[in-house]
Structure 1
Amino acid sequence: MAVFDPIQYKKIEREVYSLTAASYEKFGSTSFEAYAQPLLEGAQLKPGQHVLDVACGTGIPSLMVSPLVEPGGTVTGIDLAPGMIELAKKKAGERGLKNVTFQEADGESLPFADESFDTVLCNHGLVHMTDRAKALREMYRVLRKDYGILALSVWGTPDRALTIGIVAMAIREIWPAAVIPGAPMWFDFGPEGVLEKTLTDAGFRNPQTTTYSVSLVVKSGEEYWEGVLGISGRLQMLLKSIPQEAASKIKAKVIGTSENFRSQGQIEIPCKEIIAIARR
């Protein structure tokens, strides 16, 4: 049985997501903006606030936040993958945004002083952390005491977060050895009560969770497959590591399952995401 190696995992995540930053942006920008919208609403952002976006990817939430905290506010985006950071910086420059900065950093070891931020955002980034408890303690540490707000999103269970659950269930069925005990999984916080307990254990007060429905609309199963593959460096890495026959079966299963959601000439795949708001 494979043994999870967190150091190697981070190394691969850093490399793979750097290499796939362009495809992540191409296929994921619209959907991740939709996923981020309820997160930003829950964060109650105001002008003059200083916001940290953990695991910012290509800067999608950060760039959405920028005008919301003007005048006087700032946004700092961090990500483990330098390729993601480079693309985020490019986008901010093209839009002429002056209050947004991006830097390469590990969410489990934030390079900021205590109580540096009014708000910390993490849009589907916690599931990528090898030590989630440590990452949350770091987010807690850099928040302002007593009034700092954490706003984060995670996926529901695979049968509810179907935009990626379809893929995960196909992998479990066709190549279950891909699931390594101890490795971060997309759906670890999906079961009821898990996220709230994890946040409370990290020191946060009165975490409140809300489930939102965000559908992915595509023209075909092939388009869905290409999109999911494009945004997930982890999936690309997996498919290259298993026999070609198994990879082909996973692809066929995913495309076939997605077609079950076809209606009126398009495919609409439902997805449940969980938004948590908590205070330091």
Structure 2
Amino acid sequence: MSAESDRPMHHDEEQRRQWDAVAAGWRKWWPTIEGGAQRVSLRMLELAQVRPGQRVLDLGTGIGEPALSAARCVGPSGRVVATDFSPRMLDIAQERAAAQGLANVEFIQADAATLDVAGARFDAILCRWGVTSLPDPPGALAAIRRLLVSDGWFVTAVWPSGAQGRPMASLAAAVAQEMFGLPPSASDASPACSPVRVAVQETMRRAGFRDVHSEEMTMPLEFSSAADCGRYLMDVSPEFSALLGDRPLAQRAEFGRRLSERLQPYATVGGAVRIPNLTICAAGRR
């Protein structure tokens, strides 16, 4: 049996419930998120050589990126299919597409691990920060390759684990361990960016991709205050939402205070916080 079919159904449903629960938070914080992430989407489109008239698949689109950027790129003669397993995320993505007048993008509720897109073939496939969360990344990459036309490109963005990739999440995890006695996460002892970059490239090559290459990008997130950082994590992260949502108000306030202290190195003169996240973009051709 495949890794996908071996996964307990209740695990899939719980993951879907958690992401549905933070969909409203993603809508709320979208300007902040895309203020840094849009440049990653645009670079992914460049690496995938997306052009007008092409068919593009976006896996794990969330509330619509990089699908909407791709829809603008392929134009009215092209087509974008965007999948996500969270129906509430997709509802927001559809609203955003309608508000932007984009009629050339179709949203489908589907698990990226199964890649059930009715046997279609695509000129480019994109996945921004989703591949490494799948239960069987090598198997998923092989399936992705089969969905590409000859010479079609697959481009993904992945996070180096730990503080090097997402400093705020790493600091928040440290505060949570300190306050609630949680065990250290596996990512705390994870390899640095270069080994992760090499591992992604090697996994893509083993899946059959050619001309594999990767690059590092800095993706800044800017917040008006350190207090906003804690609210952001509560609103958009399934992990922190589940951890803190039912805690007493005093504990949540103390969590925010400790996180604010640890974020001081990223504070600007005016009290805003600017956090430089690091991501890896990797591309390969069928």
User: What is the TM-score when the length of structure 1 is the normalising length?
Assistant: 0.85
Given the superposition, is the C-alpha separation of residues 208 and 255 from structure 1 closer, same or farther in structure 2, using an over 3 Å criterion?
same
Choose 92-101 or 28-37, whichever is displaced more: 28-37
Distance 2:242 2:259 in 1: 17
Offset at 1:115?
Answer: 5.9
Q: Could you tell me which residue of structure 2 aligns to residue 160 of structure 1?
A: 164
Q: What amino acid does structure 1 have at the position aligned with 2:19?
A: Y
CA 77–194 in structure 1, closer or farther in 2 if over 3 Å, else same? same
> Sequence identity, in percent?
26
Kindly tell me: are residues 136 and 167 of structure 1, through their superposed partners in 2, closer, same or farther at Cα, counting changes over 3 Å?
farther
Equivalent residues of 2:234, 2:244 under 8 A apart: no
Which one is further off, 110-119 or 266-275?
Answer: 110-119
- Residue 84 of structure 1: how far off its partner (Å): 0.7
CA contact (8 A) 1:218 1:267 kept: yes
* Helix, strand or coil at the partner of 1:39: helix
Equivalence for 2:20: 18
CA gap of 1:236–1:82, structure 2 versus 1, over 3 A, is: same
Q: C-alpha separation between the residues in 2 aligned to 1:148 and 1:165?
A: 36
Of stretches 162-171 and 70-79 in structure 1, the one that deviates more from structure 2 is 162-171
Counterparts of residues 192-211 of structure 1 (less than 5 Å): 192=195, 193-211=198-216
**Aligned residue number for residue 77 of structure 2:** 72
**What amino acid is aligned across from residue 171 of structure 2 in structure 1?**
I
Relative distance call for 1:205 and 1:176 in structure 2 (3 A) is farther
Matched ranges for 1:122-141 at <5 A: 122-141=127-146
CA distance in structure 1 between the partners assigned to 2:177 and 2:38 by the alignment: 29
The equivalent of 1:278 in structure 2 is 284
Cα deviation, 1:77-135, whole Å, max 9, x if unaligned, reads 00011111111112112222110010100101111255610100001112332222222
Give the residue type in structure 2 aligned to 1:16: Q
Contact 2:55–2:78 under 8 Å retained in 1 = yes
| 1:86-165 equivalent positions in 2, closer than 5 A | 86-114=91-119, 116-145=121-150, 147-161=151-165, 162-165=167-170
Match of 2:3 in 1: none
Indicate how the Cα distance of structure 1 residues 259 and 104 shifts in structure 2: closer, same or farther if over 3 A, else same. Answer: same
Matched residue pairs, number? 271
1:36 and 2:38 correspond = no
- The C-alpha deviation readout for 1:176-223, integer Å capped at 9, x for no partner, is 4374x7xx99x7894521211221222222321100111111121111
User: Gapped runs of 5+ residues in structure 2?
Assistant: 1-6
Residue in 2 that maps onto 1:177: 183
Where 1:215 maps in the other structure, the secondary structure is strand
Partners of 2:238 and 2:129 lie apart in 1 by 14
Match of 1:9 in 2: 11
TM-score (norm 2): 0.84
Structure 1 position 8, deviation (Å): 3.6
Instruction: Output the aligned Cα RMSD.
Output: 2.7
Does the 8 Å CA contact 2:37/2:219 hold for their aligned counterparts?
no
Letter in 1 for 2:13: K
1:235 Cα offset (Å): 2.3
- Specify whether residues 209 and 6 from structure 1 end up closer, same or farther in structure 2 by C-alpha distance, changes over 3 A only: farther
